[in-house]
Amino acid sequence: MKDLIQDWKNRKQTAKKRHTKFVKRLSSQKGKKLDKQGDDLDREVFQEINCLDCANCCSSIPPMLNRADVSRIAKHLGMKTAAFQEEYLRQDEDGDTVMKTTPCPFLLEDNACLIYEYRPRACREYPHTGQEEFSQHLKLHAVNSRHCPAVFHILERMMEV
């Protein structure tokens, strides 16, 4: 089987403009049909990509945390919320709460997540290509195709249809 992660590394830069254009075109097709196609391709591509061979999102994009994430993870780590915030979190330029450092401090050497069961909602939902939400995040997909091999290949396969 083709190594989709290596293929993405080889082609992600040259696909940048193509994917941005394609996503713009898709915005006129937003809706259930596109979401269903997103769901199908999300399942298909994630059967061929193991996130544990990649972890590029955890290495390069600081995830956003909401209040529930902060208290759940702090509790799991046996820390007071304020201490957890102080040690691990910062406000980004948009005022959102994100992990202070990349790679994520909870990313382990084997690419597993130390707090997997308790991880932020943003990590659970990334890369927003399945769960009937593909068309809600079109602009994000154009950016994410450079960060996530799965998004890259989902867009590539959509372009073939």
Q: Using an 8 Å Cβ cutoff, are 99 and 88 in contact?
A: yes
Q: Rule CB under 6 A: say whether 159 interacts with ligand SF4.
A: no
How many whole angstroms separate alpha carbon 26 and alpha carbon 149? Answer: 19
Q: What single DSSP character describes residue 100?
A: S
Q: Rule CB under 6 A: say whether 149 interacts with ligand SF4.
A: yes
Comparison of 18 and 103: residue with beta carbon closer to ligand SF4: 103
Q: Which of 26, 41, 58, 89 binds ligand SF4 (CB under 6 A)?
A: 58
> Look-up: residue for tokens 């915005």?
27
Q: Which of 23, 35, 56, 72 binds ligand SF4 (CB under 6 A)?
A: 56
Of 51, 56, 25, the C-alpha closest to 139 is 25
Q: Interface with ligand SF4 by CB under 6 A: which residues? A: 49, 51, 54-58, 63, 104, 106-107, 113, 115, 119-120, 123, 126-127, 147-150
